[in-house]
Structure 1
C-alpha cells in the first residue's frame, strides 16, 4: 500500500484499489446465520461466505477461533496472549494491514476491530457498507472456500481496557459514574421481546441507541458522522461522558462503541458478557 491503512473505516473504492497489496489481510467476520446476496433464507455464515465474498477475502471464525470456547458464554474474549496467538494463526502479525467486513450486520466486523484495538493493534479498519455495499456497486465477488493466510508472528498485546466486566457494570448501576447504552432493538430495550435466559428488559438506568439505527438502509453504510454525533448528543452523550455499551453478547454494542471512537470519544467500553451474563443471575435487576 502506498499509504497507511485508515484506523477506522475504509470505503469500497479504497479497498478495490488495494486488493492486490501483499500486506492486506481481508476478512469476512460474519458469525451465526446470514443471508447470501438475494437469498430469502439464512444459512450458516461460512456457507454464505463460500457463495459470495470479496475477492481475496478469508473467512474469520469469530466464535470458534477468536473467542474462549471454554467459557460459559458465547463470544467471551480470549486472554490477551491467547488472542494475539489466535490472530497470528489467522495471518495477522505486527505488520499486517487488516480490513474486516460482514455480510450485513456491522457488529461482527466491529467486534473484530474492537478485539484487536483492545490488544493495542490499531492497523485495522472496517469496510463501510460491507458486502452489501460492495455488491450494490456492481463490484466483483468470488466463491468457494479459501485457504487461510499463512500464520504470522504474534504481535505483542498491550492492554487498552476497552472492555468492562460485570462488577464495573454493577457499580455503574448502583452508583452512577458511567452511562449504560443498550445497543439492541427498541423492542428488546422495552422488554417486548425476551432476552437471554428468558428474561426481558434492560439493565437499570440504560439509554437506548440501537446499533441498527446507526446505519443507512440504502447501502448499509454508516450514517454521516455529523448525523451520528447529533444522535448521541441528543441522548446526553458527549466526549466527557463515560460510556459502557452492551447488547446480548457483546457484538452489536461494539458498533455503538466504534461510532463513538470515530467521533473522537475515548471514554467508551463494551460490556463483554452483556445481557447474556447479567440476565443469567436472577438477582440482577432488569427494567422493562
Structure 2
C-alpha cells in the first residue's frame, strides 16, 4: 500500500513503523553549518538511517553556475536530478539531517516548489533516530533505478530580489529574517566573511532557533502562537536568512501552523547585501 503523508513533519516512530514500505524514499540531506565559509560535509564512513540515500544539496541540487550559494535548480534540472536518485511520482519521501532540524526543511521546500507534496521532514533528525535506537548503517550509493519524478513548478513558493525590493513598502507582506539577532542588527559578524552586516529594511527578525527545542520543532500550538503573534494582520510571509537554508525552517514552521501564504527568498541576505544599490538597515 502506497504511503501518503498528511503533514509536513513525521516522527521517528512513524518512520520506523513504515521503514519497509515499498514506495518510501529516505533522504539524508545533511550539511555542515556555515563556519568561516566551510559548508562541506564528508560522506566517507558516514552513518545514516537504514536505506537512506544522500541528497547532496550543495553539489547536485544547487545551481553551481549561480553567483550565490544554494541557488535552486531550474525545474528541468531538479526533475532530472531527482530521477537519478530514484524518486518517482508515487514516492513517499522523508528527509532528515544530522543537526536535528537544519538543512532538511530546505529539501522539503524545494520539493514543494516543484509541486511535490508527499514529503515530510523527520522531526529531530538523525540524532533523535539514534536516541530511539532505530537501525542505522554506513551511507552507500545505492544502485537505484531511474525514477519518473516530474516537476510542476509553483512560482508562488519562491521570491527573488526584485520581489523582495517591491515588498519593502507593501503593507500586505511581512519579510521575516531567520538569522540570529546579532547578525540581523550587524552586532555579530556574518559567517561568510565577504558579507556585510545588517538587514532588509522593514523586515522583522525571527531566529530559526526560536521555533526549535532540543533539536525538534516546537509543538503546533507553540508554532501557531509564535507566527500569529509575529503577524497579527495576517500578511503574506517572505522568509529570508543567510542563503536560503534556515529560511526554509521558518517556512516549515509556518506550514505546520496552518499558514499557506508564504515563500522563501532564495538568494536571501547573501544576494541582497551583495547587490549594488539595495538599501541596508542596521
TM-score, shorter chain, exceeding 0.5: yes
Which residue number in structure 1 is paired with residue 4 of structure 2?
A: 4
- How many Å separate the matches in 2 of 1:158 and 1:221? 29
Partner of 2:269: 275
Q: 1:129 aligns with which of 124, 128, 135?
A: 124
Unmatched 5+ stretches in structure 1: 35-41
Stretches of structure 2 lacking an aligned partner (at least 5 in a row):
none
Q: Kindly tell me the number of residue pairs found equivalent between the two proteins.
A: 277
Contact 2:111 2:119 in 1 (8 A): yes
* Contact 1:203–1:285 (CA under 8 A) maintained in structure 2: yes
Aligned to 1:164: 159
Are 2:112 and 1:117 equivalent residues in the alignment?
yes
Asked if 1:264 is matched to 2:261, the reply is no
Q: Secondary structure of the residue that 2:274 maps to in structure 1?
A: coil
C-alpha contact (below 8 Å) 1:194/1:201 kept by paired residues: no
**Alpha carbons of 1:268 and 1:69: their partners in 2 closer, same or farther (altered >3 Å)?**
same
Aligned to 2:199: 202
CA RMSD of aligned residues (A): 2.1
Offset, 1:204:
0.9
On the 8 A contact 2:200/2:280 being kept in 1, the answer is: yes
**Contact kept in structure 2, 1:32 and 1:44, CA below 8 Å:** yes
Match of 1:145? 140
Query: Hey, what's the Cα distance between the residues in 2 that align with 1:198 and 1:209?
Result: 20
Structure-1 residue corresponding to 2:238: 244
1:168-247 matches, cutoff 5 A: 168-195=163-190, 197-217=194-214, 220-237=215-232, 240-247=234-241
Q: Is the 8 A contact 2:244 2:268 kept in 1?
A: yes
Separation in 2 of the partners of 1:110 and 1:276?
Answer: 19
Residue 234 of structure 1 and its aligned partner are, at CA, apart by: 2.2
Query: 2:58 is matched with which residue?
Result: 63
- Residues 27 and 283 from structure 1, CA distance in 2 versus in 1: closer, same or farther, beyond 3 angstroms? same
Given that 1:76 and 1:273 are in contact with CA atoms closer than 8 Å, whether structure 2 keeps it comes out as: yes
Q: Which runs of 4 or more aligned residues in structure 1 lie more than 4 Å from their structure 2 counterparts after TM superposition?
A: none
The CA distance in 1 between the partners of 2:33 and 2:170, in whole Å, is 38
TM-score under structure 2 length normalisation = 0.91
Q: Secondary structure at the match of 2:136?
A: coil
1:103 aligns with 2:98: yes
Moved more, 91-100 or 168-177: 168-177
What is the Cα deviation at residue 151 of structure 1?
Answer: 1.6
Preserved contact between residue 80 and residue 159 of structure 1 (Cα < 8 Å): no
Aligned counterparts of 1:198 and 1:98: Cα–Cα separation in 2: 35
Report the equivalent of 1:39.
none
Q: Distance in 2 between matches of 1:276 and 1:44?
A: 18
- 1:148 Cα deviation (Å)? 4.7
Residues 251-275 of structure 1, C-alpha deviation per residue, up to 9 Å, x if partnerless? 1000101111111111100000001
